[in-house]
């Protein structure tokens, strides 16, 4: 009974730690603990100094008997020995905790949740024995491992509360009324967009399938960008999700996608794919089956978990009992994905004659450290100005950053590009302000406010005459001067 109370208290504490870590960007789970560098011995706590008794202007030292002084010296020596021993044992204790954590993961994969919790309890107990000074480099390893344990405990706790049945490794491709409704939509009003997305998938799907296989995820997930972005690398949603995999800026940051003045890696199909694989792996580990994990990919794991918690436990035994209570876009997301996979797996059955996808993109990579417009590089290489932009979609202003950057160029152009870049003029992207249009504002009002002209704002934002703007849209405004 005592162990049970301890475990649930640990689960509660770790749940708080898990959701806190999600907002600040969790560390990668699979990063191994690094061996500790050679450290100087910890400062040894010395025995108390001889007591001084003060009496008026004079002071006398308390005389410590020889036997007591010998005992104090022996105690100090033992403290020094223990401190050094503790420091030497810290790394081995962390290694032991990591091995125990790995045993818990294996038990989780076997479906033995009790054994997994037992091993996680054991791993956490080992961590509690590791006492380190605040400046020890091992503190980071200790905190990383504690966070990983917290995440696994939260996942097991969630899967215990969510009695959702399903195959752990495959995506159930059911053909119910919700899926059939989306198939009909793809066959009729969205047919053109669907077929165009299937064509574009050939450019990147080969790499996506390779990453999914390495992570042990179903290959069908390679069709998720059809639903997310129509397989367009620069797709932007109303909620400001961007790229092939439609990452929000905060979620992209969690999974290592850089966004700064020069680049936004959410638009890089290869880097964004690696981030998406990490996110999908985490979601599947959290929910234990794919349909619910995919819903969470669309609207967030916390939103889905809150809906699950409002269900009657005996009633909600599969995803289709919960999905209509999700936001409208999310409630259609999973049926649309299943519909797309069914059509692609058997196009004739659903009245499609899908064209052959485009061939995969092929390119070479050169490392440059020179901020230059891609159009200028293209001219030096005798290429179309759009070709380098197509290979490097993450560059926000079609120019390389002012730091080391791996530029993709067509096959056979690497050496020529390296020779040309250093002789090209440098380019720094202009500074822009962002303004959200408020009720009653016109372009002339906004132009006066920012000290610019209506024509400059229209040209920068691609506005057509007459310049009609809507409340809520975001305009880029040129910097003063």
Nearest Cα to 16, choosing from 104, 200, 146, 184? 146
Q: Is 25 left (phi over 0), alpha (psi -120 to 50) or beta?
A: left
219 is catalytic: no
| Distance between CA atoms of residues 425 and 415, nearest Å | 19
| Distance between CA atoms of residues 477 and 219, nearest Å | 43
Whether 359 contacts 411, CB under 8 Å: no
- Single out the catalytic residue among 119, 155, 182, 228: 228
Whether 223 contacts 183, CB under 8 Å: no
Sorted by sequence, the CB contacts under 8 Å of residue 10 that are 6+ apart come out as: 121, 124, 153
- Catalytic residue numbers read 228
């Amino acid at each position: 009974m005592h162990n049970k109370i301890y475990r649930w208290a640990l689960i509660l504490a770790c749940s708080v730690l898990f959701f806190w870590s999600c907002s600040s960007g969790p560390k990668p789970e699979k990063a191994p603990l690094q061996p500790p560098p050679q450290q100087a011995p910890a400062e040894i706590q010395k025995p108390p100094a001889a007591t001084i008794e003060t009496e008026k202007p004079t002071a006398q030292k308390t005389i410590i008997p020889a036997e007591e002084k010998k005992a104090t010296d022996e105690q100090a020596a033992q403290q020094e020995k223990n401190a050094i021993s503790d420091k030497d044992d810290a790394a081995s204790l962390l290694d032991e905790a990591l091995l125990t954590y790995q045993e818990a993961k294996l038990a989780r994969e076997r479906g033995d949740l009790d054994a997994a919790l037992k091993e996680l309890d054991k791993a956490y107990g080992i961590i509690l024995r590791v006492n380190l000074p605040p400046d020890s480099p091992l503190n980071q390893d200790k905190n990383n491992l504690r966070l990983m344990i917290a995440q696994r405990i939260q996942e097991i706790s969630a899967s215990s509360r969510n009695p959702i049945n399903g195959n752990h490794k495959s995506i159930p491709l059911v053909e119910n009324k919700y899926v059939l409704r989306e198939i009909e939509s793809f066959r009729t009003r969205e047919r053109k967009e669907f077929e165009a997305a299937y064509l574009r998938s050939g450019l990147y799907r080969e790499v996506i399938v390779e990453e999914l296989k390495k992570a042990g995820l179903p290959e069908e997930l390679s069709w998720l960008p059809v639903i997310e972005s129509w397989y367009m690398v620069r797709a932007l949603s109303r909620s400001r999700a961007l790229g092939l995999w439609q990452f929000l800026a905060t979620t992209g940051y969690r999974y290592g996608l850089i966004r700064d003045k020069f680049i936004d890696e959410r638009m890089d199909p290869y880097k964004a794919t690696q981030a998406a694989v990490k996110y999908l792996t985490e979601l599947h580990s959290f929910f234990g089956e794919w349909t619910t994990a995919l819903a969470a990919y669309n609207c967030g794991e916390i939103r889905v978990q809150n809906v699950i918690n409002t269900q009657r436990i005996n009633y909600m035994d599969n995803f289709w009992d919960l999905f209509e209570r999700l936001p409208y876009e999310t409630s259609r997301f999973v049926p649309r994905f299943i519909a797309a996979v069914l059509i692609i797996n058997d196009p004739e059955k659903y009245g499609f004659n899908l064209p052959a996808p485009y061939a995969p993109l092929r390119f070479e990579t050169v490392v440059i450290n020179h901020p230059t417009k891609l159009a200028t590089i293209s001219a030096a290489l005798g290429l179309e100005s759009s070709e380098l932009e197509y290979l490097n979609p993450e560059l926000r202003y079609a120019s390389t950053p002012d730091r080391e950057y791996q530029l993709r160029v067509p096959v056979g152009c690497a050496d020529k590009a390296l020779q040309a870049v250093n002789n090209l003029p440098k380019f720094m992207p202009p500074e822009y302000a962002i303004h959200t249009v408020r009720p009653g504002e016109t372009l002339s009002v906004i132009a006066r406010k920012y000290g610019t002209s209506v024509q400059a704002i229209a040209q920068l934002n691609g506005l057509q005459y007459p310049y009609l703007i809507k409340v809520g849209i975001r305009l880029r405004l040129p910097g003063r001067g």
